[in-house]
Amino acid sequence: MVNDAMSEMRWSQDEQAQRLVLVTGPSGAGRSTAINVLEDLGYEAIDNLPLSLVPRLLDGPVRPVPLALGLDVRNRDFSAANLIELTDRLTRLPEYAPVVLFLDCSTEQLLRRFNETRRRHPLRSEGAPLDAILAERDMLAPIRARADVLVDTSELSPHDLKAELAHWFVTEPGRRLTVSVQSFSYKRGVPHGLDMMFDCRFLANPHWEPELRPLDGRDASVQDFVAADPRFAEFFQKVRDLALFTLPAHVDEGKAHLAIGFGCTGGQHRSVTMAEKMADALAKAGWQVSIRHRELERREKAPAPADDGREQSTHAAGAGA
């Protein structure tokens, strides 16, 4: 979610000003990830910088690249009043173009993240982090209310967050559009941020072939099986042609990122096959393409089951792909 397009308008008004993104938000909401994303987008990124040092950092000629500064409660002189005062002071100076990016997250999700990582909250060294989460939320409320860009990361993966930030903080407005091709399982819901979505569940399912079931759509034998479906070739061609037809129009509209999703039952065979082949086709056509297989990522990150001496089943009998 974005408050408005103030950052885009402010930067377009004076390209000679030092572009500066001040990144803040509650601990655990994704500030560090956002800093890394902005660095990948071409920003000079500095995390956990004391507020009192920001003016000294900005002294001198305008840098050739924009700056991204991570500011949070770990800073020894951090407070909402100090950050607001700093932002107001920089806004009044024509040589600077500051934008406040606020990464927010639900209290429930923040608590879950702290419990999963077992990291202590910066505002509380011992005990449950809930009180510290609530205290920090109250502390940051004035900044949240005045943020130029507000992104709620409660349901965003790092990949989704990168796509969102790329849309708002691209350093080269005229640069080549990037395409993200994704596979997913409908059973786990549709990924956030898809611009185009295609259902692959009508294609022949390798799940019902015992030798293919443990494999996924990155495997050549699985791809051959899916491609052997008489409907596959025409389906693939129509989707590819549609993408190649619309991509230049998205560039003309100034879009920086386009997400194309393919879904099937389990997100393992058919959707992965389509995503792999489509990413390859678009890359060969000259587009900058990234690929993501959501369900395969979840499976790879899942902890291994405890060895209790019994044979573990690799796949549940009903987990179609």
What residue spans of the chain are helical by DSSP H?
A: 6-13, 31-40, 54-58, 80-91, 107-117, 130-146, 158-169, 220-227, 232-252, 270-284, 294-301
72 is in an annotated binding site: yes
Tell whether residue 252 is among the known ligand binding residues: no
Structural Rg of the chain based on CA atoms:
23
Contacts for 224 with CB less than 8 Å, ≥ 6 apart: none
Other CB atoms within 10 Å distance of the CB of residue 53:
13
Say if residue 28 carries a ligand binding annotation: yes
- Residue 26 labeled ligand binder: yes
CA distance 136 to 130: 10
Say if residue 27 carries a ligand binding annotation: yes
First to last CA, the chain: 32
Ligand-binding site membership of 271 (annotated): no
75 annotated ligand binder: yes
Residue 197 to residue 86: CA distance in whole angstroms: 43
**Could you give the angle at which helices 107-117 and 130-146 cross, rounded to 10 degrees?**
130
The annotation status of 74 as a binding-site residue, yes or no, is: yes
- The answer to the question of whether 31 is labelled as a binding residue is yes
CA distances from 119 to 91, 205, 218, 255 (A): 36, 42, 36, 38
Task: Tell whether 125 is in a known binding site.
Answer: no
- Rounded Cα distance between 128 and 252, Å, is 51
Q: Which residues are annotated as a binding site for GTP?
A: 72-75
Binding residues for ATP: 25-32
Residues of the binding site: 25-32, 72-75
